[in-house]
């Protein structure tokens, strides 16, 4: 079930027997010269809809913006301040909690969101101690991690990675192929200006030229299966 395609009476009926929802969240930011700007929210949204298809999970609209300040030196990036993202999460959870939702499974597509989401959950619990929030990053489950390690090795890098580029190739059926020089290794993230100076084309130690749509299809299936297990366990947990 997709929340945006339901009527309010259908949501009310759902809440008579269930109280969980998947909330995909990503970012709108540069992903090097070959990666689409919507990579993080496109990946999170597609995998979340995979949970809808395989588990009939209720999935909310994808939150397309995240904390991406360090990428704002590149055109097209849209970033929320950490405080803004915290309030956004609080408001989304609070709105749904008023109606009876109690379990919120945040399916995340952007590493820069992790610390902010954890802070937001702490704030949520102050106002809604009866709810539970779970953070699930699509790329950190053991099955997906092992595939990426075997397939790409040190070509994966830290940003604009072949794994996320491959996943978007599969999802969007679109690819951009350019000859790329070796990317600078990850040596830290500072100001947006410093990021642009250290990583001129936006990549951090990655070689997305090795990505394929076939890899993306495999990654999608691995992520949906792993996140599906995590979601099912989360829903079954008591307390």
Does 68 fall in a domain? yes
Q: Looking at the domain assignment, is residue 7 inside a domain? A: no
CATH number at residue 119: 3.40.50.10310
- Reported pTM: 0.96
Q: Is 133 helix (H, G, I), strand (E, B) or coil?
A: strand
Pick the closest to residue 107 from 140, 129, 76, 79 (CA basis): 140
For the chain, what is the mean pLDDT? Answer: 96
Is residue 6 situated within a structural domain? no
Per the structure, the count of domains in the chain is 1
Give domain status of residue 58, yes or no: yes
In-domain check, residue 79: yes
Residue 194 has pLDDT above 80, yes or no: yes
Model pLDDT for residues 48-88, shown as the tens digit of each residue: 999 999 999 999 999 999 999 999 999 999 999 999 999 99
Residue 88 belongs to a domain: yes
For the segment 26-52, what is each residue's pLDDT rounded down to a tens digit?
A: 999 999 999 999 999 999 999 999 999
Say if 14 falls within a structural domain.
Answer: no
The boundaries of the domain holding residue 222 are 20-178+185-236
The answer to whether residue 1 is domain-embedded is no
Nearest to 86 by CA among 37, 133, 36: 133
Q: Which helix (H) or strand (E) holds 221?
A: helix 213-236
């Amino acid at each position: 079930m997709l929340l945006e395609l339901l009527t309010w009476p259908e949501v009310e009926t759902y809440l008579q027997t269930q109280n969980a929802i998947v909330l995909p969240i990503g970012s709108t930011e540069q992903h090097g010269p070959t990666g689409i700007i919507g990579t993080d929210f496109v990946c999170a949204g597609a995998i979340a809809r995979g949970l809808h298809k395989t588990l009939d999970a209720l999935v909310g609209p994808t939150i397309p913006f995240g904390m991406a300040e360090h990428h704002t030196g590149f055109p097209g990036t849209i970033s929320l301040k950490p405080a803004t993202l915290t309030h956004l999460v609080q408001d989304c959870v609070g709105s749904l909690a008023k109606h009876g939702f109690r379990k919120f499974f945040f399916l995340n597509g952007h590493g820069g969101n992790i610390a902010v989401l954890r802070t937001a959950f702490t704030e949520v619990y102050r106002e809604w101690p009866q709810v539970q929030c779970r953070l699930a990053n699509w790329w950190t489950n053991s099955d997906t991690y092992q595939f990426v390690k075997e397939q790409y090795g040190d070509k994966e890098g830290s940003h604009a990675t072949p794994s996320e580029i491959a996943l978007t190739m599969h999802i969007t059926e679109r690819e951009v192929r350019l000859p790329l020089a070796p990317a600078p290794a990850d040596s830290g993230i500072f100001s947006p200006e410093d990021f642009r100076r250290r990583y001129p084309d936006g990549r951090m130690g990655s070689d997305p030229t090795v990505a394929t749509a076939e890899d993306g299809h495999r990654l999608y299936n691995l992520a949906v299966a792993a996140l599906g297990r995590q979601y099912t366990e989360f829903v079954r947990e008591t307390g």
